[in-house]
Amino acid sequence: MDFTCNREIIQKCIMSADRVTSKNSSLPILSSVLLTTNSKSIIIRATNLEVGVEFQIPADVKRDGNVAIPGALFSNILTSIPDEETITISVTDNVCKIITKTKNITIKGFIPDDFPTIPVINEGESFTIQSQSFIQGVKAVLMSAAVSDIKPEISSVYIYQKEKYLIFAATDSFRLAEKKINYTGGHISQGVIIPIKNIIEIIKIFESINENILFKITKTQISCVSKSVYITSRVIQGVYPDYEQILPKNNTTEILVLKQDLINTIKLSTLFSDKFNKIQFIINPQQKKCLITTKNSDIGETESNLTATMSGEPIEISLNGKHLFDCLNTIDQDSIVIQCNGFNKPAVIRGVGDQSFTYLTMPLTK
């Protein structure tokens, strides 16, 4: 094969593609990216057998062919030649020559026929959503997904359609986040559970793209198609817990605070909290008291008074400071509402006037 293309464009794609390559697989071909010519463009493929990506970039193709070369190496080469405007690649017998104005580089490639195929989805349901909306939905809930893969269905993000919304949800069984994004397309009968590691790759790739993405889902696979990128990922074949049933319908105590105040207080308090980041809230609406205390027998203790608007019954509740902190960062509003239903029931956190994001966190035992 023989082609010339813009250095900046190919570098961007190779860097994205290299993220998806398998880093320490027993099969070396999986750490490579596959370049294939396609009339006036080249196709870049990479996969770790969980996620597969395919980029298409314009190129001046002189001779057809394909080659598989180590992704990390290629990416490093491209970042090291920032001054070049175009590069020319020519391949004979799996030896890849990269030629620029001033440099001549030769890389040993793999046999391209060994490169895995990337599944194409032709059946199943599909829906379209703007890339940035999708990223917004995923990012709002991402931090709540479970890290360990003991239960694969919850170390994932669950996406489904309900009424006029596309709903993103994630939980690690101690806290839960749900984000609704406006959706105008057709009915999607089944939800999709995407492993957390895979969805991180998907949003990383779409981050720099601002266009509509077409999603296609089957029971086993999801694919995301934009003008220049095709991504496909395994999905979890399982059942996502019907979490809507645990979202509290009402509350006994409601607190309204400025977000920044709370963030600062929590930052201070977590310095003195135990290893479970336990922070105690003592709330008494009648006495207009909102006290946040932490105690660590080795270091010391804190006590902060928070200015807050409160209503309902007095309550003492211990929450995980890290969980609170995680969600505060994803709320855009200046003020937030915390709703409690007793010291042993999950507390709900939302931005003021924003029903699209709901965060649930389980109190810690005293």
Partner 1 sequence: MTNNTQLWEKTLFELEGELSRANFSTWFKNTAILKQDDGMVVVGVPNEFVKDWLQNKFHKTILRSLRNLSENIRGIEYTVCKIDEPKVEKKPQVLVGSSQGAELPLVDLYINKEDGLNPRYTFNDFIIGSFNELAYAASQAILKKVGTNVYNPLFIYGNTGLGKTHLIQAIGNEVKKHYPNKRVFYTTSEKFSVDYINSVQQGSKAMASFKNKYRVYDLLIMDDIQFLSNKEKTQEELFHIFNELYHNNKQIIFSSDKHPNYIPALEARLKSRFSAGMIVDIQEPEYESRLAILRAKAETQKFFPPLEIIEYLASSVQGNIRELEGLLNGIICQSELRNRNLTLNEIKPFIKNTAKPKKLLSVKEIVKVVCDFYSIEESFVYEKTRRKEILKPRQIAMFILREDFNISYPTIGQKLGGRDHTTVMHSCEKVKSDIKNDLSLMQEVDQIRAMF
Q: What is the DSSP string of 97-118?
A: EEE-SS-EEEEE-B-GGGSPPP
Give the shortest CB-109-to-partner 1 separation in angstroms: 17
50 contacts 197 by C-beta, under 8 angstroms: yes
Length reported for the chain: 366
The helix-helix angle for 196-206 and 7-20 (nearest 10°) equals 170
CB of 171 to partner 1, least distance (A): 7
- Closest to partner 1 by CB, 27 vs 214, is 27
Residue of 178, 342, 340 lying closest to 244 (CA atoms): 178
Q: Which is nearer to partner 1, 99 or 174 (CB)?
A: 174
User: In this complex, which beta carbon is closest to partner 1, that of residue 66 or of residue 171?
Assistant: 171
CB of 246 to partner 1, least distance (A): 6
Q: How far apart are CA 62 and CA 188, in angstroms?
A: 44
To partner 1, the closest distance from the beta carbon of 115 in angstroms equals: 10
Nearer to partner 1 by Cβ, of 25 and 128: the residue is 25
C-alpha 169/C-alpha 171 separation (Å) is 7
- Give the C-alpha separation, 157 to 194, whole Å: 5
Q: How far is the CB of 239 from partner 1 (least distance, A)?
A: 5
Residues in CB range of 62: below 8 A, 6 or more apart = 2, 3, 4
With 0-12 CB in 10 A as exposed, 13-18 as middle and 19+ as buried, what is 327?
buried
Supply the DSSP symbol for 28: G
Is the separation of the CB atoms in 280 and 317 below 8 Å? yes
Binding site for partner 1 (CB under 8 A): 25-28, 30, 47, 49-50, 52, 116-119, 148, 150, 171-176, 189-191, 219-221, 232, 234, 237-243, 245-246, 276, 320, 344, 346, 360, 362-365
Listing DSSP states for 225-267 in one string gives: E-SSEEEEEE---S----GGGGS-S--SEEEEEEHHHHHHHHH
- Could you tell me the smallest distance in angstroms from the CB atom of residue 341 to partner 1? 13
Q: How far apart are CA 16 and CA 360, in angstroms?
A: 34
Closest contact distance (angstroms) between CB of 46 and partner 1 is: 12
Give me the least distance between CB of 345 and partner 1, in Å please: 9
Work out the angle at residue 93's Cα, subtended by the Cα atoms of residues 90 and 99, and round it to the nearest 5 degrees. 20
Residue 84 or 201 with smaller CB distance to partner 1: 201
Per DSSP, the three-state class of 146 is coil
Structure tokens at 190: 């089944």
Provide, rounded to whole angstroms, the least separation between the CB of residue 190 and partner 1.
6
Structure tokens that stand for 72 in this block: 């990390």
